[in-house]
Chain A
């Protein structure tokens, strides 16, 4: 009976005792859904010696934290985590489960959806509740990204979705919030595990620097060719920004995949974002629209990028960028003069 299933859950992804920020964002999104439905919001926390994280999960919006603390759960593995989550779902029957669309979140959600024979919507960018039918409306860009599709799971529970990092907003943590911690135990044996994590390496490569950059210059296929795209590199270098590209640019081989911004690349939220020669397909826009200030340059006055940008110039980037580079250098010279005078 689907009526038995109640409550909104968020899978709390932790790595070496650190909660992934996407999980906190999902607590923010989950809070809204739970309030709309009038049901509690719960975080699901699995790992080894991770009980210390429960106050944080409550501060970020959870009413309940389900905890399974077990040495075998120290590192993420599909089989052990799936076993834990399936146990909780069968015991407490939630109506909705949200996961971060990270490698581990997607892996776990896909496996759990198969065992529960329920629906899973990937990489959602909007979540809402159809109040009439009490259904989760999970929306995502479809068909290469120029239109949104709302996916429903009418007859199966729980309704599940993965959500990209940096799409939803975390609540301001409230340390005074009260919540309940429910601990469960499951039977797991290391010798029964078919996979082992031998080493975990934190990466500080381009991908990380793009995500952390305060200013990003993103070029699209409007740059014409690989040579035209060099202007993007040059401009970024002069102003001290990170470089990104649209899916077209990556497909054309002008930039490696790590630099892709959008639904199938990275989601970024810099303080300033230049979209140059970028048309603004939805699949790109979902990856950058939460940037503080967006400046777009495009030849086509009707390019959808101008809908999300804060400032726009209709014009040829190949003509404008060299001037911009030149003028910025002028400003820098003057600034340098002031500082060192």
Chain B
């Protein structure tokens, strides 16, 4: 089984600082990390390989040259090889242009080794869109199965997979033909500590770099900023609401006022007496 995992390098939004003067992201303040959902996607590929007893895991990313770091990180988790698509021609891509570029990369990978399954994180924590995974599935004409909570069964003979998928009101059990594309939730697995041989391999690993010249069949009008139908119109801080009534006095007095506010809606806390 050949599993390809699509990964992204993102700023760690947990640590990131906002410049209060300009209200923009201070990118220097944020370390770049492997998108957490993608780490779970790589781990799931490793778990599937372990379950089947064999398999090959390829990771692919699009981003600036420093993104090689997240490919190394994936090798550490257990991927076998990694590719980075990097070129100014890809810069400024929205989700549509991103899925186009990654699908081109996947097609190129599939020429040497047919792909049985693609796994993506549910979304990236910098954009939070979740749109690239299904987009890639459409371009490769394979079924997308999004928001996967658990891989229940893989039948290599029948070429099917059984998964548990999150829905608005709960979950559902879905069977899909292979190849397919899964996007995974964080709950799908726990990231395991990397074994030492993986860490050694990762430290020495150099991913394959592809630039736009490595693709002979790309439509340049579909790449990067040019290939992106959406544009950012304006940035603004949302209109400020009236603001809170600030409670004054000593702590005890403030606490008393909070209790009074709660008691104005007494029915929320106490059964009515009748």
Query: Taking beta carbons and an 8 Å cutoff, which residues of A are in contact with B?
Result: 13, 15, 20, 22, 75-76, 78-79, 100, 102-104, 106-107, 109-111, 113-115, 117-123, 126, 130, 137, 142-144, 146-156, 165, 194-203, 214-215, 239-240, 247-248, 251, 257, 263-264, 271-272, 282, 289, 293-296, 306-315, 319-320, 323-324, 327-328, 331-332, 335, 338-339
With a cutoff of 8 Å between Cβ atoms, the chain A residues found around residue B128 in the complex are 122-123, 263-264
Query: Taking beta carbons and an 8 Å cutoff, which residues of B are in contact with A?
Result: 13-14, 16, 18, 23-25, 94-96, 99, 123, 125-135, 137-139, 142-147, 162, 165-177, 180, 186-187, 228-238, 240-241, 243-247, 251-252, 254-259, 261-263, 265, 268-271, 273
Q: Are B134 and A78 within 8 A (Cβ)? A: yes
Across the interface, name the chain B residue whose C-beta is closest to A204. B170
Q: Are B246 and A324 within 8 A (Cβ)? A: no
Q: Are B261 and A117 within 8 A (Cβ)? A: no
Q: Are B243 and A307 within 8 A (Cβ)? A: yes
A285 to B237, CA, bound (A): 13
A167 to B272, CA, bound (A): 31
Across the interface, name the chain A residue whose C-beta is closest to B146. A107
Q: Given A106-B130, A110-B134, A248-B14, does the pair A323, B177 have CB atoms closer than 8 Å?
A: no
A200 to B166, CA, bound (A): 10
- Residue in contact with B18 in the complex, picked from A143, A324, A327, CB distance below 8 Å: A143
With a cutoff of 8 Å between Cβ atoms, the chain A residues found around residue B168 in the complex are 13, 15, 20, 22, 100, 102-104, 165
Q: Are A335 and B270 within 8 A (Cβ)? A: yes
- Residue in contact with A324 in the complex, picked from B130, B135, B228, B258, CB distance below 8 Å: B258
Across the interface, name the chain A residue whose C-beta is closest to B138. A114
Offer 23 A-B interface pairs, CB within 8 angstroms, sorted by A.
A78-B134, A103-B146, A103-B165, A106-B131, A113-B95, A113-B96, A114-B99, A117-B96, A118-B96, A123-B129, A143-B126, A147-B23, A194-B143, A195-B175, A197-B173, A202-B170, A257-B186, A263-B128, A295-B261, A306-B246, A311-B261, A313-B246, A315-B251
Q: Given A78-B143, A257-B187, A264-B128, does the pair A251, B173 have CB atoms closer than 8 Å?
A: no
Q: Given A122-B128, A146-B23, does the pair A110, B95 have CB atoms closer than 8 Å?
A: yes
A296 to B95, CA, bound (A): 37
With a cutoff of 8 Å between Cβ atoms, the chain B residues found around residue A328 in the complex are 259, 262
With a cutoff of 8 Å between Cβ atoms, the chain A residues found around residue B171 in the complex are 201, 203
Q: Are A148 and B238 within 8 A (Cβ)? A: yes
- Give B129 Cβ to nearest chain A Cβ, in Å: 4
Q: Given A151-B231, A199-B172, does the pair A239, B262 have CB atoms closer than 8 Å?
A: yes
A307 to B244, CA, bound (A): 6
- Give A74 Cβ to nearest chain B Cβ, in Å: 12
Given contacts A142-B235, A148-B238, A199-B173, 20 further A-B contacts (CB under 8 A): A78-B134, A78-B137, A102-B168, A103-B166, A104-B168, A110-B134, A147-B23, A147-B24, A148-B237, A150-B236, A194-B142, A194-B177, A195-B143, A196-B175, A197-B173, A198-B174, A294-B244, A308-B244, A310-B244, A312-B246
Across the interface, name the chain A residue whose C-beta is closest to B165. A103
Q: Are A194 and B244 within 8 A (Cβ)? A: no
- Give A255 Cβ to nearest chain B Cβ, in Å: 13
With a cutoff of 8 Å between Cβ atoms, the chain B residues found around residue A264 in the complex are 123, 125, 128
Q: Are A197 and B174 within 8 A (Cβ)? A: yes
With a cutoff of 8 Å between Cβ atoms, the chain B residues found around residue A200 in the complex are 167, 170, 172
A202 to B169, CA, bound (A): 6
With a cutoff of 8 Å between Cβ atoms, the chain B residues found around residue A319 in the complex are 251
With a cutoff of 8 Å between Cβ atoms, the chain A residues found around residue B96 in the complex are 113-114, 117-120
With a cutoff of 8 Å between Cβ atoms, the chain A residues found around residue B186 in the complex are 257
With a cutoff of 8 Å between Cβ atoms, the chain A residues found around residue B132 in the complex are 110
- Give A252 Cβ to nearest chain B Cβ, in Å: 8
A164 to B133, CA, bound (A): 19
Across the interface, name the chain A residue whose C-beta is closest to B238. A148
With a cutoff of 8 Å between Cβ atoms, the chain A residues found around residue B127 in the complex are 122
Q: Given A78-B134, A147-B235, A312-B245, does the pair A323, B18 have CB atoms closer than 8 Å?
A: no
- Give A6 Cβ to nearest chain B Cβ, in Å: 19
- Give A10 Cβ to nearest chain B Cβ, in Å: 16
With a cutoff of 8 Å between Cβ atoms, the chain A residues found around residue B254 in the complex are 313, 315, 320
With a cutoff of 8 Å between Cβ atoms, the chain B residues found around residue A272 in the complex are 262, 265, 268
- Give B132 Cβ to nearest chain A Cβ, in Å: 8
Q: Are A146 and B18 within 8 A (Cβ)? A: yes
With a cutoff of 8 Å between Cβ atoms, the chain B residues found around residue A295 in the complex are 258, 261
